[in-house]
Every structure is written in structure tokens, then in C-alpha cells.
């Protein structure tokens, strides 16, 4: 029997179907569209509200800029690009929304669709294009003014680069795929005979924000709040091996160190996960938990991860900021070997996913952890895992399209481990805060992670204290 790793979109749909069958203890309000009148107050989602306050505290910060970059290996029709962007912003209301204050609270203020002005620049080569794109992506946003999508088309001898500079309050990683799909549809329609209309979206992001708040009331809110207060109470910050004193206010300058995880241990870890009813996500996380325990000297380790937040079928085709942070706390005291650690991590992940409806901002409010200057609350370290994808190659009117390519040096957490499956094993990267870590320390952490992985796969029943010793 063959097995298949579900894409994020299919996983979200599966979770939504299961949730509908589960007969919840309290009714969940229907997700429907709200009227758009001058008297209608459109609230921010809980995730948006957190970013809004962070941006207000540091208005010149670019920590939450999320540029989308598409490199097109060929010529483009500038008129079609401009028209497609206008249709894109007309379709997705959040791209033409500002976030002013009303009676002391931030609100969403959608603006009518308008013709999208496209800035076009010509450069001498790809290196000059990269410099141009980097400068454009490092401009701060004013969230109270319209214009959370800033398009730039750069033309050089190698082709075209389209930058959609966005603020995280209006977009997330899933949104990039939606943006590409809809942009491509509109671009091709502008160059062909069809009008290119898409089915109307049943709701917009502001409708979701109001729905999210409506469903977090009463007994359900009390139950989720009590759970997280119990689960994360008494949590101490991780004693990470910092190279520099922590600034009193959080900084966001970052860098990335990428490293390979060889195929043998990667395959061995996947087999070990299957043998214990766990997923590769859980297995790589368990190794990371061991690494953090080793370098901190602590048996109580909390790692954050990101959830898609799209637990309703109406949300899968929307652009917006749906993702949330999930705190995964694992106790290692008394664990004899790695399989026991894996079982505890598995239980932690399943428990957290069952209670993920409470936004992280509300979790922090419920737990009320002691605040240490410059330390992110509850979660200092983040982890993500991406299964081997089967996404079709992108093209635009016959031209190959690739994403990314310009590194934005931003660190929203002290340390982030990203793991990706590849045909030959796995690829990993540490994103780190350069105010806290030197590159050599992060390289050492990468080496320790790979060493732990190899030793666990070679002898998973080895006593935990022996595994955690320096090799």
C-alpha cells in the first residue's frame, strides 16, 4: 500500500471535514459575509491585532515585510501584468485594506478596487535587480494608509522579476500560492480572448476576522484558555548558548545557515517515526528538542511551530494572514531513550493541535509569563518541516518562473530550524538573530544536530544521557 503526504491545502480540508463530524460541545457560528457599509465595524483578527501593535511600537521596522518574488525567464507583457495586478487586488479585499484606529481600537477599512499602478525599472544585470528588490523590500509600511501591496517589475537581460512587497498583516506563505494562481489566471486572460473571471469568493478576510472572534467566546474560550494556562504555566525561558548579551528590546536582524542532512540518517529517522506511530515532522522535532536540552541543560523544552489556520473550506482560496504560532512543550525528565522522547513529542503535538484554535496572543494573555527584557514570550525558538512536494513547475505564457532568490535578513525569533525533505535526504537551515549569535556558534549547532541524528538512527535504544554527550 502506498502512502501519500497530504499537502497543506488537503490537510486543512481534511481537518475541516473531521471537525464537522465531531459534534462540538458548543455551536460554532457560520462563516458568512458581513455588509460593507460606513456603519459596519470590521475588526482585525487576533493575529493581525498583534502585528498591528508591534508595528505601531516600531513604525520603522521591516521585520514583518513579506516580499513575494517571481523570476520570469523571458519577456513579459507589462500592460497585462498591470491589469492582472488590478484584478488581483479587486478579488482579494485585504490587499486594498488599511488599518486605522476607531475609538482607540484598530479596524479594517477596505478601499474600492482601483487601477493598479505598476512601477517598472530596467537594470543592467541580475545583481543590480537583486539590489533594487532588496531596497524595495526593506521599506517600512504605514498600516493606517492604503497600499499593503507594492508591486515592482524589474527588467534585465536575463528576464523579468516581479516583486509583490507585502506586509505580513495581509499575507502568509499559503497566500503566495493563491497570489500566483490568481495572478497567472488574470495575466493569461488579459493576453487572450477570454474575460478570465473566477468564481466569486464566498467571504473576504475581514469576514473571517469577525468569525474568528465570534467563535472564541463563552465556554469554548474558557476551555481553551484553561488548557493552555495549565499546559504552559511555570515555563522558564530557554538558556540558549548566546554569544552576546541580550538587548533589552527585541531586535530582528538575522542571517541563515543552511546544511545538508544525509540520506541514510534521514531515511532511518523516517522508519523510526513510522515504527512509533509518529510523523517525520515529529521525529525531526524530537531531535531538535534533544539538541536544545543538550545546549541549555534543561529538561523542559518549548519549541514553537506554525499552523496554517485555515480550518474552514471557505478560507483555502483567500489571501490573508491566517497562520498562528503553536507552543509545543516537552518534558524530558526521566526519559530513558530516544523512542521515549519521540512518544512524548508525539503526544505534545497531538494535544497542541487539538487546542490550536486559541490564537497565540490569547495564549500569552492566559499564561501571563514573567516578561524578561528582549525575550519573546513563551516561544524563543521555532521549528518547521516541509515534506517533499510535487508542485508542478511554474510557467507564464511559456516562460519558466521561479520563486525567491533574494535573502531578507530578518529574525523574528532567537533561532529557527527549518527542515525540508529532498530526493536525496533532507536539507536544513538555521535562521538566527545576529544580535545574539555568531555564525560559528550556529555552525556548531548544525553539526550537533546532524551528529545527534546519526547517533539516534544508528542505535535508537542508546540511553539518553549517552546520546546527549559530546561526540
Q: What is the pLDDT of residues 393-430, one digit of tens each?
A: 799 999 999 987 566 678 899 999 999 988 777 999 99
Range of the domain at 375: 251-392+405-467
For residue 78, being part of any structural domain is answered with yes
Per-residue pLDDT of 335-347, as tens digits, reads 999 999 999 999 9
Give the residue from 189, 207, 225 where a domain finishes. 207
Closest CA to 387 of 440, 335, 423: 423
In a domain, 229, yes or no: no
**Residue scoring higher pLDDT (283 or 393):** 283
Which of residues 425 and 204 earns the better pLDDT score? 204
| 293 and 193 fall within a common domain | no
- Would you state the pLDDT for residue 390? 54
Whether 6 is covered by a domain: the verdict is no
One domain for residues 270 and 197: no
Q: In terms of domains, do 419 and 294 share one?
A: yes
Q: How far apart are CA 370 and CA 184, in angstroms?
A: 48
Helix (H) or strand (E) holding 266: helix 263-275
The Cα–Cα gap between 77 and 79 comes to: 6
Whether residue 279 is contained in a domain is answered as yes
Among residues 119, 15, 6, which one has the least CA distance to residue 353?
15
Other beta carbons less than 10 A from residue 17's beta carbon: 11
| Pairing assessment for the beta strands 101-102 and 105-106 based on DSSP bridges | antiparallel
DSSP alpha helix (H) spans, 92-172: 126-137
Contacts with 184 (C-beta within 8 Å, 6 or more apart), sequence order: 394, 396
What's the rounded Cα separation, in Å, for the pair 35 and 99? 18
Judge whether 438 lies within some domain.
yes
Listed residue (142, 88, 145, 155) closest to 115, CA to CA: 88
Share of the chain above pLDDT 90, in %: 76
Residue 287 is inside which H or E element, if any?
A: helix 280-296
Lowest mean pLDDT among 4-13, 202-211, 269-278, 370-379: 4-13
Return the bridge partners of 421, or none. Answer: 426
- 310 conformational bin, left if phi > 0, alpha if psi -120 to 50, beta if neither: beta
Same domain, 368 and 301: yes
- pLDDT > 70? residue 18: no
- Asked if 119 and 266 sit in the same domain, the reply is no
Cell of residue 353, nine digits: 493541535
* Count, residues in the chain: 471
Q: Radius of gyration over alpha carbons of the chain, in Å?
A: 23
Picking from 207, 242, 276, the residue at the C-terminal end of a domain is 207
**What is the average pLDDT score of the chain?**
90
Considering the domain architecture, whether residues 201 and 255 belong to the same structural domain is answered as no
Sign of CA dihedral 187, 190, 196, 197: positive
Each residue's pLDDT tens digit, 296-306? 999 999 999 99
Cβ atoms 149, 165 nearer than 8 A: yes
- 187 and 261 inside one domain: no
> Which residues are bridge partners to 305 per DSSP?
326
Query: Is 366 found in the same domain as 310?
Result: yes
Q: Dihedral (C-alpha) 36, 41, 42, 46: value to the nearest 10 degrees? A: -170
* Same domain as 145, residue 290: no
Calculate mean pLDDT across residues 186-212: 92
Residue 78 gets which letter from DSSP?
H
| Structural domain contains residue 237 | no
- What's the pLDDT score for residue 5? 45
Asked whether residue 261 falls in the same domain as residue 195, the answer is no
> Which DSSP letter does residue 12 get?
H
The per-residue pLDDT for 211 is 96
Mention every residue, 6+ apart, whose C-beta is less than 8 A from residue 298.
236, 238, 239, 292
| Number of compact structural domains in the chain | 2
- Tell me the pTM: 0.88
CA-to-CA distance for 338 and 175, rounded, in angstroms? 37
Cell of residue 184, nine digits = 497567472
Model confidence band, residue 389 (pLDDT cutoffs 50, 70, 90):
low
Structural domain ending residue among the three candidates 151, 175, 207? 207
Q: CATH code at 445?
A: 3.30.559.30
Show the cell assigned to 210: 469577525
Q: Can you read off the three cell numbers belonging to residue 364?
A: 500569552
Cα 205 from Cα 48, distance rounded (Å): 11
Neighbours of 275 (CB within 10 A): 11
Nearest-10 crossing angle of helices 46-57, 205-215:
110
- What was the pLDDT predicted at 371? 85
CATH number of residue 131's parent domain: 3.30.559.10
What would the grid cell of residue 49 be? Answer: 491585532
Q: Within this chain, do residues 187 and 286 fall inside the same structural domain, yes or no?
A: no
Judgement on whether residues 310 and 376 belong to the same structural domain of the protein: yes
Q: How far apart are CA 469 and CA 466, in angstroms?
A: 5
412 domain-assigned: yes
Distance (Å, rounded) from C-alpha 224 to C-alpha 447? 39
Query: Are the C-beta atoms of residues 254 and 433 closer than 8 Å to each other?
Result: yes
Does residue 244 lie within any of the structural domains?
A: no
22 has pLDDT over 60: no
Amino acid at each position: 500500500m502506498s502512502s501519500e503526504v497530504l499537502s497543506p491545502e488537503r490537510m486543512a480540508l481534511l481537518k475541516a471535514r473531521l471537525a464537522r463530524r465531531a459534534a462540538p460541545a458548543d455551536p460554532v457560528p457560520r462563516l458568512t459575509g458581513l455588509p460593507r457599509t460606513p456603519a459596519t465595524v470590521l475588526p482585525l483578527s487576533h493575529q493581525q491585532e498583534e502585528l498591528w501593535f508591534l508595528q505601531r511600537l516600531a513604525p520603522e521596522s521591516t521585520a514583518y515585510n513579506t516580499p513575494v518574488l517571481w523570476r520570469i525567464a523571458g519577456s513579459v507583457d507589462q500592460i497585462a501584468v498591470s491589469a492582472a495586478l488590478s484584478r488581483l487586488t479587486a478579488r482579494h479585499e485585504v490587499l486594498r485594506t488599511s488599518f486605522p484606529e476607531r475609538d482607540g481600537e484598530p479596524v479594517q477599512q477596505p478601499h474600492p478596487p482601483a487601477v493598479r499602478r505598476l512601477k517598472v525599472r530596467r537594470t543592467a544585470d541580475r545583481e543590480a535587480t537583486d539590489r533594487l528588490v532588496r531596497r524595495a523590500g526593506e521599506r517600512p509600511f504605514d498600516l493606517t494608509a492604503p497600499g499593503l501591496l507594492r508591486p515592482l517589475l524589474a527588467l534585465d537581460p536575463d528576464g523579468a522579476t516581479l516583486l509583490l512587497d507585502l506586509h505580513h498583516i495581509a499575507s502568509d506563505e499559503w497566500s503566495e500560492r493563491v497570489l500566483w494562481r490568481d495572478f497567472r489566471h488574470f495575466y493569461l486572460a488579459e493576453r487572450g480572448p477570454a474575460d478570465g473571471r473566477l468564481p466569486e469568493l464566498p467571504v473576504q478576510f475581514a469576514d473571517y476576522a469577525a468569525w474568528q472572534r465570534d467563535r472564541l467566546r463563552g465556554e469554548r474560550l474558557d476551555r481553551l484558555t484553561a488548557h493552555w494556562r495549565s499546559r504552559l504555566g511555570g515555563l522558564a525561558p530557554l538558556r540558549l548558548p548566546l554569544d552576546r548579551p541580550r538587548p533589552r528590546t527585541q531586535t530582528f536582524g538575522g542571517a541563515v545557515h543552511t546544511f545538508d542532512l544525509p540520506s541514510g540518517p534521514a531515511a532511518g529517522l523516517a522508519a523510526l517515526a513510522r515504527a512509533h506511530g509518529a510523523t517525520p515532522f515529529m521525529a525531526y522535532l524530537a531531535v531538535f528538542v534533544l539538541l536544545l536540552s543538550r545546549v541549555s541543560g534543561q529538561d523542559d523544552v518549548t519549541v514553537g511551530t506554525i499552523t496554517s489556520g485555515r480550518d474552514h473550506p471557505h478560507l483555502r482560496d483567500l489571501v490573508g494572514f491566517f497562520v498562528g504560532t503553536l507552543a509545543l512543550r516537552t518534558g524530558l525528565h526521566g526519559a530513558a531513550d530516544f523512542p521515549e522522547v519521540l512518544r512524548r513529542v508525539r503526544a505534545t503535538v497531538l494535544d497542541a493541535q487539538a487546542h490550536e484554535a486559541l490564537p497565540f496572543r490569547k495564549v500569552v494573555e492566559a499564561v501571563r509569563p514573567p516578561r524578561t527584557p528582549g525575550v519573546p514570550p513563551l516561544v524563543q525558538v521555532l521549528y518547521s518541516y516541509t515534506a517533499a512536494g510535487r508542485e508542478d513547475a511554474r510557467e507564464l505564457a511559456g516562460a519558466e518562473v521561479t520563486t525567491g532568490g533574494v535573502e531578507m535578513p530578518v529574525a523574528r525569533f532567537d533561532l529557527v530550524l527549518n527542515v525540508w525533505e529532498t530526493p536525496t535526504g533532507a536539507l536544513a537551515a538555521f535562521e538566527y538573530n545576529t544580535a545574539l549569535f555568531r555564525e560559528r556558534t550556529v555552525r556548531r549547532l548544525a553539526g550537533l544536530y546532524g551528529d545527534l541524528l546519526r547517533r539516534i538512527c544508528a542505535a535508537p535504544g542508546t540511553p539518553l544521557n549517552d546520546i546527549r554527550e559530546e561526540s
